[in-house]
Structure formats: structure tokens, C-alpha cells
Structure 1
Amino acid sequence: MFDFIPEAHTAPPAARRRYIWRTLGLVAALLVGFVVFYGVGGGQPERAGLNMAMVILLIVFIAAVVFEMIALIRSLDELQQRIHVLAWAIGFGLAVHVAFICGIAAHLGLGVRFDPMLVILIAVPGYYISLFLVGRYYR
């Protein structure tokens, strides 16, 4: 069976429920924020205050998700904590290396364009793939 929240599958039931509901609430709030943001004309250069409000919302969202994930990881036993920290190190290390290589390629004029914002789109799947692989190693 596929686990839709693999980072929580080994957590105690109460911690897992808390994490799932709070994370879903945060994602729902972010989606509502995006709908409102674009509904009132956000993203336009002349709407600097609205754009800054969205940046602040994103910072708060990321901080809240990180806080929830840390609370979840702390509820795990030592082996599971080790697996998650190792998966974080691999996933985020991979993202840093890809960003560095793309930066070097762009500096050398090899026609590579890399938006630093894409680092998170490499880091998060890298974490989940690493979590799966490292978890299988320790079974």
C-alpha cells in the first residue's frame, strides 16, 4: 500500500494525527492565500505591498511546516530520527550540489539558466526519495 505521508508512517498515532491535520490546514491556508492573492491582482509590479504580504505568508508557511516536521521527527525513536536526518542531509545536499553545478555552468557560459527558487523543488523530492532508500537500508 502506498503511504501518502511517508515521513509520518512510523510516528506514534497521536503525533501522526496532529502532523497530518496541521499540515493539511497549513496547505489549505496557503492555497486560499494564493487564490486571494491572484484574485485581487497580486504579482503586478505596482502592487508591491500585496506582493510583500505574499512573501511574508510564504515565509510563515515554510517556518510552520518546518516546525511541524521537527515536532514529528522528535516524536520518533532514535533510529527513525537518524533515518530522517540522514534523508534530509542527502536530499538537501543533492539540491545544493545541483544548484552549484548549474551556477558554475552558467558562469562558464554554457547556456544554463537556473532559478535558485528551484532548489526547493529538488530538495523536497530528494528528501522523500532518500527517506525511502535509507528506510529500506535499515529494515
Structure 2
Amino acid sequence: MALSLAVALSACATDSSGGSSSQSGGPSLTGTEWHLDHFQSSDDSIGTIRPKQDEVYTLTLNADGTIAMQLSCNRGGGQWTSADYRKSSGSLELKMGFSSMAACPPGNFDNIAMRLPNVRTFVIQDGKLHLNLMMDAGNYVWRPK
């Protein structure tokens, strides 16, 4: 059973070149360190929200199905799954597993770790990763480092 799990995980996210790639030839869903550019709300009264200058949010979806994140002055992680990880769009499920609890200064994205499990789909377009929340609640837009 452990061997089956290892084979399934290794088949999850990498290609023969050692990293994954999207069909578009740009940055890929896996193995790229993504930096939060902005959140685009579907509600016009909220609009676009950008991280403050001293806030840093990164997201890396590792080939082994784990997530590594920087959440301002904290670190977090969890698991991810996608049948479409080799494509430039498709379904995506993020499960947060842990987050450190340092007292960061108040920021624009204090609740991001709680909202990421609401991501349902992704699109890589114009070199940016768009994580789309369920029920048209908005999109987190990330740029590669």
C-alpha cells in the first residue's frame, strides 16, 4: 500500500524534465514559488486589495502534494490535489494543515489561510496564477518569483 501511495504521489506533479510545466509554456502550477499580487473581489464595493508593502505571501505547490506558504510573518502548509495540474487551468483543492501563530502586524490578508480551502479552480494566464474561490467570491492572483 505504501508503494502504491508513493507511485501515485510521484505521478501527481512532475514531468520527465524534473519539474512540471503548464501547456502554455509559462510558469507551472507545481514547483513555482508564487507571490501574492492581489485579491480581486467579485463585489465591486470591495474591488482589488493588494498586500501592504511589508506583507509577503508566497505559495508553493510541491510535486509531492504538499503546500509551503509564507503568511506575512508566519509559515504554513498543507496538502493539495488536482487532476489538472499539468494544464493551465482546472480544478484544485487546497487543504491547510498548519500555520505558525506569530503576532504579525495587522494586514490586508490576515484570513488568507482560512480562505484558501475555498479555492475550487485555477487558471494560469499571462504568467500569473489565478486561484478562484467557490461561489464567485473572488480570485487570488499570484505572480512567479
Which structure has the highest strand share of the two?
2
Which structure has the highest helix share of the two?
1
Whichever of the two has the greater Rg, that structure is 1
TM above 0.5: no
Normalised to the residue count of structure 1, the TM-score between the two structures is 0.27
Normalised to the residue count of structure 2, the TM-score between the two structures is 0.26
